[in-house]
Chains A and B, each alone.
Chain A
Amino acid sequence: MIHSLFLINSSGDIFLEKHWKSVVSRSVCDYFFEAQERATEAENVPPVIPTPHHYLLSVYRHKIFFVAVIQTEVPPLFVIEFLHRVVDTFQDYFGVCSEPVIKDNVVVVYEVLEEMLDNGFPLATESNILKELIKPPTILRTVVNTITGRPGGDKEFLKTDWVTPRGSGAVSPLLLERVFSCVYERSTNVGDQLPTGQLSVVPWRRTGVKYTNNEAYFDVIEEIDAIIDKSGSTITAEIQGVIDACVKLTGMPDLTLSFMNPRLLDDVSFHPCVRFKRWESERILSFIPPDGNFRLLSYHVSAQNLVAIPVYVKHSISFRDSSALGRFEITVGPKQTMGKTIEGVLVSSQMPKGVLNMSLTPSQGTHTFDPVTKMLSWDVGKINPQKLPSLKGTMSLQAGAPKPDENPTVNLQFKIQQLAISGLKVNRLDMYGEKYKPFKGIKYMTKAGKFQVRT
């Protein structure tokens, strides 16, 4: 299926290549560059590009193009979804997925890719399993690798005399040695224990998990996607919710999570660990969780009347035909917030090309305008209902140019803590199969997703 993978950075350098079948020359990427040129913007590069002998399927994330080369018919989503999974895995391994990080960890990256695909067909994509096969770089190991200047500390190595002279006065050689010796056990990237998870019937969970503090946290995060009309009426609004979990429980716990109002969730997708039949019959989430962080569930509430819009934006943006000045005024205020404060408000807007500069004064927060990209952004912070934040001022327009057809749309970001705007509430979490009592926590949050106000 997937023949080869090329990683291309924003300046068009191929900085990593991996082949699963015969080697495909990197010159095949020329077709990609062509398409990239045509598309002008990175995100307009078509995800599927046919070339005479191959097909290039790509995803663009973190300013990197992940280009997969395939040769025969394959469901394109299969490849795309897999590439996204690769990026997720890198992120999971290294914290961030960027060119320098990938270059620094090229060996781990290679090892991981080797495990993820066999002959182009996905083999192990569960992060729990991968982490057993290939250990992610830990801080300690990175430190050791940096100090020793070598990947993988060697015990013999320590006994040589270089530690003492180089180990600066602050760090005693003894301590260093102790650190090394405990790190030594984990100095290799490759797990010496062969993973059992892949073979077990619970392939997403690694075995032999042990924690002293057993904790399970669930974050219910909802994002509001909305388009608000010029007049302030809602054109479309929907809620995209996810439940992200961080489960650190010893052994093989079997959890059930129930909701106060499960009827809300009529369109859901699950992590493979969730027992679907149980959900169908009882509307209860029953699962053996993977170890660590994972997305348990995502859901979609689209019935428009259920979606409360927590903010409003008052705007008056006008360009005058005759003068080279335009007026700009925006006020943000809370609407239906269930008594919670709106935080982290960020207003951004792509101004028309004709706008040369803006001179604005915010009543709170800071604002910036980039005259090159014409991007206005205003970091408002918290909304105080007593004193609504506003941004006022003038725009200077290109002299002689016709006035722009359209007023810019305003994109809004905000957060509301401790509120799930759909009203979803977790009822209880129970654990079976293990004896100890875990610490449980649940957090709600509402955020703006793609929240646009047309002006």
Chain B
Amino acid sequence: MASNSLAYNEQAGAGETAELGQEAAATMSPSGAFGLFSSDLKKNEDLKQMLESNKDSAKLDAMKRIVGMIAKGRNASELFPAVVKNVASKNIEIKKLVYVYLVRYAEEQQDLALLSISTFQRALKDPNQLIRASALRVLSSIRVPIIVPIMMLAIKDASADLSPYVRKNAAHAIQKLYSLDPEQKEMLIEVIEKLLKDKSTLVAGSVVMAFEEVCPERIDLIHKNYRKLCNLLVDVEEWGQVVIIHMLTRYARTQFVSPWKEDGGAEDSEKNFYESDDEQREGTERRKKPYAMDPDHRLLIRNTKPLLQSRNAAVVMAVAQLYWHISPKSEAGVISKSLVRLLRSNREVQYIVLQNIATMSIQRKGMFEPYLKSFYVRSTDPTMIKTLKLEILTNLANEANVSTLLREFQTYVRSQDKQFAAATIQTVGRCASSISEVSDSCLSGLVCLLSSRDEVVVAESVVVIKKLLQMRPAQHGEIIKHMAKLLDSITVPVARASILWLIGENCERVPKIAPDVLRKMAKSFTSEDDLVKLQILNLGAKLYLTNSKQTKLLTQYILNLGKYDQNYDIRDRTRFIRQLIVPNEKSGALSKYAKKIFLAQKPAPLLESPFKDRDHFQLGTLSHTLNTKAAGYLELSNWPEVAPDPSVRNVEVVELQTKEWTPAGKAKKENPAKKFYSESEEEEDSSDSSSESESESGSGSEEEADSSEDSSASSPSEQEGESASESEGRSKRTAKKSWKTRAKSDSEDEEKENEKSKSSDSSSAESSSAEESSSDAESESESDSGPDSRKVTKEKEGRPKQARSTLPKDVSLLDLDDFNSVSTPVALPTPVLSPSLRADLEGLNLSTTSSVINVSSPVFVPMKTHVLLHRMSGKGLAAHYFFPRQPCIFGAKMVSVQITLNNTTDQKIENIHVGEKKLPAGMQMHAFSPVDSLEPEGSVTVSMGIDFCDSTQTASFQLCTKDDCFSVNIQPPVGELLLPVAMSEKDFKKEQGMLTGMNETSALIVATPQDFTPSVILQKVVNVANVGAVPSGQDHLHRFAARTVHSGSLMLVTVELKEGSTAQLIINTEKTVIGSVLLRELKPVLSQG
């Protein structure tokens, strides 16, 4: 490919020059081109000036003109230096146009293009996700091999980005990088693997596309994501759907056994499968007979069906081919209606759809027979559509409908479009040959056409009649005589040749006519077409053998003419025939058999569809359309004899759930307004649960999804409750799982373990009522939290998950009242996406770093308290809060806050609780449990959890007593948004190496040497921030590490002592905002004394 495109580039260069030449001087010669170059240079000179002006309008104008040049295909590459300067322009439109230019010419001007890279690198760290995304897009579109490592790094970063939109772009970038440098394949596969786990619908299509491009053979990557993809499919954008469906088709063909063997019983087996699901699941062995479809196979078929209603023809076609290739034959019928609907679409769509229908209609006539009339031809159809429709009509012809069809064909034969008329005649021939009942009437109809005035029609008829007669060697003397007469009028060579051949073949049946025909032909031999001449020779030879008395001289005359023909083929044939039939001394042996050779029984030609052999290509592919293997075509494998282990998919479902389901619940409460989102989640939920507990799958799951969807429109609270309860069932499982995980440190084993735990759990969890399971889950996790907090250091893996598992219920219930008040998802794009991907990120971080980086216990807990509510303003109720620096028991992403309530009045204060909350979007709060009463002078300490989303935004809420409500705020110091982690120096360095550039902030500190003793530094740092110390081998380096509570991003603090009394304070983190705030807070603390 590379060399090829290179070749094109060269041509392109030449082409451009030529064009420029035309424009300027109307001369195409190189010298002319020179003249034009100078003029062009001048023209570009003013563009350059405009680009260098300091007015945006002038720059914009110049850029627009340049883009105009690019669009016309003119060369604008010498403006590169002037343009690339503007890559950092503030004006967004100029910037975009510069990007357009850059992508077009960077490949040609690699060195200069490098100038722009730093801008993109900077933009990759921009807080705005769209800017990050577009930076990644452009960076990856610049095809400069030198920056491959930079691209790789950017892709890796972006694939872990919080925003699904950025991750989507990362998926796109994978393909670009792969085409630039295929050697990165292994690394890219890792990224793909990571992104495949992504549960955002935005990412799914793009990553599957990347998968198909980079590593379609790694089907094993799909296993664990199979069910998720099936369930997400409906919500993926349409283009992604097409790609995913095609991929899943291939997948299904390798992983499931053929559903076609027992076609008749398909219906039954389907029922069996629904009924027997529970047993099936428990008794892991699937029954071998009768055939029962793998539930996953069924899942795919069921989940793609709604897409037949898509407005996008490509999606409909993709589903159609999926049904064709993997569904039981009895079910494939549903696609025909949708395909027929597509026929109303544009010409091009019709063309492709008709081709596919043509292939299908050969194998299964029944599917399209009810729609026979939809394939009737209109006079306004383009010829290619007409012929395809005709093809399908022929395939659909059977005894019952052939007479109707033939009547229809009569109209077509008279069409003004002669090419089409000719095709119709062939069609009639095919009908006649395949359906014996009508062959006689077809034949007579064709003979009638022989008297048509149009030569093309007559010629085609002759050819078809010839074929028909050959197939039915009965007596057709009359027809042959009729055709012999036609020889006088027909001029089309093929037709003449056909008639001659027919007469020759049947020369014994028409003994009187044949010699006469030969006589006429001998007369006109020299003026005939080559094709006809060959047949004249044949006829002569045959007659010579059967009727040598009458034709000997004639034949010899013809052979003589042939001997001196201009065409060597004819001369050859003449020599051959002469040797063969004319007996002479040399050729004795063979001429004996001459009659056998010439008048042997010839096999009848098979009239068949040109679409007959296309079915080995996957339908809906380019290869199928072209009937040749296109580059990059992936064969559809045959069904395996024995299905590969279906549990490969099962296993990961648990894995997925632990990662996905809990955040899914969270997504709902975080974005109460996002009905659609939660709805899709909901569907996903229900359908997924159906895949686990098939007892209610089938129609059941659909109803369930329905009802939940309805309720989402009418009463969101109901849905909320439902989802909460559902996630509860899961959370329980998760909790159990985390226990198991704790027991086994090996993560490999973990999976197997999960499987077991799942199979035992699922049934119980599913069967118990929602309330039960929810309370279960709660209590369980509560009890878990005890040991957890004791062994924080070791159990990092188990804890966050399990802690999270309690979260969904709590918060979703709390947020119910918010649900209606915010009715539009207008707000803030970031939070919209964050939940899912936050989860991902966390999951990723866990998996990649868990072995080395563990959350540790806080080094130091400052007892500094903050006033929450002063007793004066609180009418005697005073409240203080402080951060205990303990992992929060309410949720892994929450910061625990302890609130001490004091009653300074002389009366009891009753019912102290949290009232209305005014949290910034995305923030979560777990309120403390209400305090029933507080005695005078009494004090009580309660704890609550707040998810600050890694920001220092204030959490405002109302602290209410029985009588009053007080508005209070908690603003977290940035240092409290962290959890200390323990890691080795090596890991620290590694992580730090990955967080350079924009992720690094630093400041210089000046202080007295005694302030720089290790203990003082440690004391000061941990006083401000909840970080863990990292053992350091060097005395002048002090390292601290933490991760942010919400997203789990690493926060690395380094204090590097320099000569004199200065030190360098360096903070590395992805969370640049927090990083810089922390820097600001640490700096004065360290530099004072």
A contacts, CB < 8 Å to B = 1, 14-28, 41, 43-44, 46-48, 50, 53, 55, 58-61, 70-78, 80-84, 106-107, 109-111, 114, 118-119, 121-123, 125, 150-154, 156-157, 188-190, 192, 194-196, 198-203, 207-208, 225, 227, 235-236, 238, 240, 251-252, 254, 256, 267-272, 275-278, 280-282, 286, 288, 295, 298, 300, 302, 304, 350, 352-353, 402, 404-406, 408-409, 411, 432-434, 450, 452, 454
Output the least CB separation between B96 and chain A (Å).
Answer: 6
Contact B96 A111 (CB under 8 A): yes
Interface centre among A121, A254, A300, A353 (most CB of B within 10 A): A121
Q: Chain A residue with minimal CB distance to B375? A: A236
Tell me the complex Cα distance, A406–B452, Å: 11
Output the least CB separation between A438 and chain B (Å).
Answer: 16
Q: At the interface, yes or no: B628 with Cβ under 8 Å from chain A?
A: yes
Contact B341 A77 (CB under 8 A): no
Contact A114 B625 (CB under 8 A): no
Nearest first, the 9 closest Cβ-Cβ pairs linking A and B are A72-B632, A406-B414, A201-B677, A154-B57, A236-B373, A47-B348, A190-B93, A25-B12, A201-B676
Tell me the complex Cα distance, A43–B380, Å: 11
Contact A73 B311 (CB under 8 A): no
**Known contacts A196-B829, A277-B683: does B317 contact A406 (CB below 8 Å)?**
no
- 8 CB contacts below 8 A, A to B, read A21-B143, A60-B348, A106-B67, A121-B209, A151-B64, A277-B702, A300-B341, A302-B374
SS class, residues of chain B in contact with chain A: helix
Contact A272 B341 (CB under 8 A): no
Q: Chain B residue with minimal CB distance to A404? A: B416
B contacts, CB < 8 Å to A = 1, 4-5, 8-9, 11-12, 15, 55-57, 60-61, 64, 67-68, 70-73, 91-93, 96-97, 99-100, 104, 107, 128-131, 137, 140-141, 143, 163-165, 169, 172-173, 175-176, 179, 202, 206, 209, 234, 237-239, 242, 246, 306, 309-314, 316-318, 337-338, 340-341, 344, 346-349, 351-353, 371, 373-374, 376, 378-380, 382-384, 408, 411, 414-416, 452-454, 620-623, 625-626, 628, 630-634, 674-677, 679-680, 683, 702-703, 705-706, 709-710, 713-714, 823-826, 829, 832-833
**Known contacts A44-B384, A106-B71, A277-B702: does B349 contact A72 (CB below 8 Å)?**
no
Of A75, A203, A208, A281, the residue contacting B826 (CB under 8 A) is A208
Contact A55 B709 (CB under 8 A): no
Q: Chain B residue with minimal CB distance to A148? A: B57
Tell me the complex Cα distance, A78–B96, Å: 27
Contact A59 B71 (CB under 8 A): no
**Known contacts A121-B172, A353-B416: does B71 contact A278 (CB below 8 Å)?**
no
| Inter-chain residue pair count (beta carbon < 8 A) | 325
Give every chain B residue within 8 A of A208 (Cβ-Cβ). 826
Contact B313 A25 (CB under 8 A): no
Of B1, B314, B632, the residue contacting A77 (CB under 8 A) is B314
**Known contacts A24-B5, A75-B246: does B12 contact A207 (CB below 8 Å)?**
no
Tell me the complex Cα distance, A272–B237, Å: 9
Contact B453 A405 (CB under 8 A): yes
Q: Chain A residue with minimal CB distance to B632? A: A72
Give every chain B residue within 8 A of A267 (Cβ-Cβ). 337-338, 341
Output the least CB separation between B2 and chain A (Å).
Answer: 9
Contact B825 A119 (CB under 8 A): no
Tell me the complex Cα distance, A316–B128, Å: 72
Give every chain B residue within 8 A of A281 (Cβ-Cβ). 703, 706, 710
Of B143, B239, B371, the residue contacting A121 (CB under 8 A) is B239
Other 10 A-B pairs with CB < 8 A, given A152-B61, A252-B825: A23-B5, A48-B351, A48-B625, A60-B348, A73-B623, A75-B317, A199-B164, A207-B826, A269-B311, A433-B823
Contact B633 A73 (CB under 8 A): yes
**Known contacts A75-B622, A78-B242, A201-B677: does B93 contact A189 (CB below 8 Å)?**
yes
Contact B96 A190 (CB under 8 A): yes
Output the least CB separation between B623 and chain A (Å).
Answer: 6
Contact A450 B622 (CB under 8 A): no
Give every chain B residue within 8 A of A268 (Cβ-Cβ). 309
Tell me the complex Cα distance, A82–B384, Å: 22
Give every chain A residue within 8 A of B246 (Cβ-Cβ). 75
**Known contacts A119-B141, A201-B674, A280-B706: does B376 contact A109 (CB below 8 Å)?**
no
Output the least CB separation between A322 and chain B (Å).
Answer: 15
Of A44, A72, A254, the residue contacting B713 (CB under 8 A) is A254
Give every chain B residue within 8 A of A300 (Cβ-Cβ). 340-341, 344
Give every chain A residue within 8 A of B621 (Cβ-Cβ). 73-76
Q: Chain A residue with minimal CB distance to B168? A: A123
Contact A26 B341 (CB under 8 A): no
Contact B680 A201 (CB under 8 A): yes
Output the least CB separation between B371 and chain A (Å).
Answer: 8
Of A24, A192, A282, the residue contacting B92 (CB under 8 A) is A192
Of B313, B622, B709, the residue contacting A74 (CB under 8 A) is B622
Q: Chain B residue with minimal CB distance to A405? A: B414
Of A28, A107, A402, A432, the residue contacting B67 (CB under 8 A) is A107
Contact A298 B55 (CB under 8 A): no
Tell me the complex Cα distance, A47–B351, Å: 8
**Known contacts A106-B67, A272-B311, A450-B380: does B706 contact A59 (CB below 8 Å)?**
no
Give every chain A residue within 8 A of B57 (Cβ-Cβ). 150, 152-154, 156-157
Output the least CB separation between B503 and chain A (Å).
Answer: 27
Tell me the complex Cα distance, A107–B93, Å: 11
Q: Chain A residue with minimal CB distance to B179? A: A21
Give every chain A residue within 8 A of B318 (Cβ-Cβ). 75
Q: Chain B residue with minimal CB distance to A118? A: B172
Give every chain B residue within 8 A of A15 (Cβ-Cβ). 72
Give every chain B residue within 8 A of A50 (Cβ-Cβ). 626, 628, 630
Q: Chain A residue with minimal CB distance to B310? A: A269
Tell me the complex Cα distance, A252–B416, Å: 55
Give every chain A residue within 8 A of B309 (Cβ-Cβ). 268-270, 276
Output the least CB separation between B63 and chain A (Å).
Answer: 8
Contact B632 A53 (CB under 8 A): no
